[in-house]
Structure 1
Amino acid sequence: MSKKLPSPCIDVCKFRREGHCIGCSMTKAQKKMFKALKKPDHQRAFVDLLLHQQSDMGKYSHWTPVYLKKCAKKGVKPPFAA
């Protein structure tokens, strides 16, 4: 069984971009949704959705290296190619 992915949250938590966090792009509802996901496949799909959201919104290039470091610290393979 795959290990659980760490939350995409990078501990910035400032909701300034029309309700989206300036650190990870998640809304408060999306943060709750990720916590409710139990299956690693669902978590990976959520992170994929989040990457597309960040790409559409722009200005989230800082997120990827921080999240990769978080995955490495947990010993989990990241859900995307670095």
Structure 2
Amino acid sequence: MTTEESILNKIQILITKHFDTPQEAFEFFDADGDRKLTKREIVKLLKEAEINGFIRGLVSSKLIEGYDKSGDELIDWNEFKAAVAKIKSA
């Protein structure tokens, strides 16, 4: 299993074990309620998914880079859904 697969697997486990739906997870980590996840909020998600602290910042940047289609350096609900769909198919 590659590092990317391992990280995606940990995120999937977090979402399925602790939340009824991906939207519930999104809303939980959207601390300021602006319907977008900031890098800080994504780092919190990664911490909860037990991603090593050393790589959380790098992983959060890569997630934003890979899924931020609007270019605002935030992850909105539709972008989060796309990421979750990729995780489920991995």
The TM tier, using the shorter chain, reads 0.3 to 0.5
Q: Scaled by the length of structure 2, what TM-score is found?
A: 0.36
